Amino acid sequence: MKAKNIFMALAATTVALSSCNHLLDIPQHGVQNYETYYQTDEEAEAAIISCYIQVKGNEMNYVLGKNMLTDDFWAGGGGRNDNADLEGLNEFTFNTDQGYLEGMFTAYYGIIYKANVVLGHVPDESEIQKRARAEAKVFRAWSYFELISMWGNPPLVDHELEPSEYHKPNGTTEELWALVEKDLNEAIESGLLTEKANADDKTWRVTKQFAQALLGKAYLWQNKYEEAAAEFDKIINSGLYRLYADYENVIAFTTKQNCESMFESVKISDPNNVWNNFTMLHLMTHYRTDKLVDNCCTNAGLAGLGWGFLSPQKNLYDDFVAVEGENGYRLNATMKTWEQMVDMGINVKEGNTIINEGYFMWKTRITAEQVPAAGSNFVDDANRQWMRYAEVLLCAAEAHFEAGNQGKADEYMNMIRTRAQAPTKSGYTQDEIRREKRIELCHEGTRFQDLLRWGIAEERMKDQGAYCPLLNHNGQIENKVYNTDPAKFGFKPKHNLLPYPGTEIRLNPNIVQNPGW
Q: Is residue 31 predicted with pLDDT exceeding 90?
A: no
Nearest to 359 by CA among 421, 442, 294, 279: 442
395 close to 218: Cβ distance less than 8 angstroms: no
Nearest to 252 by CA among 417, 328, 362: 362
- Give the length of the chain: 517
24 band by pLDDT with thresholds 50, 70 and 90? very low
Q: What is the mean pLDDT of the chain?
A: 91
2 band by pLDDT with thresholds 50, 70 and 90? very low
246 band by pLDDT with thresholds 50, 70 and 90? very high
Nearest to 472 by CA among 340, 343, 335, 357: 357
Determine the Cα–Cα distance for residues 259 and 198; give it in Å rounded to an integer.
Answer: 9
Q: What is the pLDDT of residues 165-208, one digit of tens each?
A: 999 999 999 999 999 999 999 999 999 999 999 999 999 999 99
Residue 171 DSSP label: -
Q: Is residue 65 predicted with pLDDT exceeding 70?
A: yes
User: Which residues, including other chains, have CB under 8 Å from residue 346's CB and lie 6 or more apart?
Assistant: 287, 292, 293, 296, 297, 300, 360
33 band by pLDDT with thresholds 50, 70 and 90? low
Q: Where in the chain is the domain with CATH 1.25.40.390?
A: 39-73+85-193+478-517, 207-266+383-445
Determine the Cα–Cα distance for residues 220 and 503; give it in Å rounded to an integer.
Answer: 32
Does the domain formed by 39-73+85-193+478-517 have CATH 1.25.40.390?
yes
Determine the Cα–Cα distance for residues 135 and 190; give it in Å rounded to an integer.
Answer: 10
48 close to 135: Cβ distance less than 8 angstroms: yes
Residue 500 DSSP label: P
Q: In this predicted structure, what is the pLDDT of residue 274?
A: 66
Q: What is the DSSP string of 215-266?
A: HHHHHHHTT-HHHHHHHHHHHHHHT-----S-GGGTT-GGGTT-TTEEEEE-
Q: What is the pLDDT of residues 343-396, one digit of tens each?
A: 999 999 999 999 999 999 999 999 988 887 656 777 888 899 999 999 999 999
Q: Just give the CATH number of 207-266+383-445.
A: 1.25.40.390
Nearest to 478 by CA among 486, 488, 470, 466: 470
The predicted model scores a pTM of 0.91
118 close to 132: Cβ distance less than 8 angstroms: yes
Q: CB atoms < 10 A from the CB of 215, how many? A: 26
The sign of the dihedral angle between the CA atoms of 366, 368, 373, 378 is positive
Mean pLDDT of 286-297: 96
Determine the Cα–Cα distance for residues 499 and 512; give it in Å rounded to an integer.
Answer: 10
Q: Residue 197 in 3-state DSSP?
A: coil
Q: Is residue 47 predicted with pLDDT exceeding 90?
A: yes
Determine the Cα–Cα distance for residues 250 and 129; give it in Å rounded to an integer.
Answer: 34
User: Which residues, including other chains, have CB under 8 Å from residue 29's CB and lie 6 or more apart?
Assistant: none
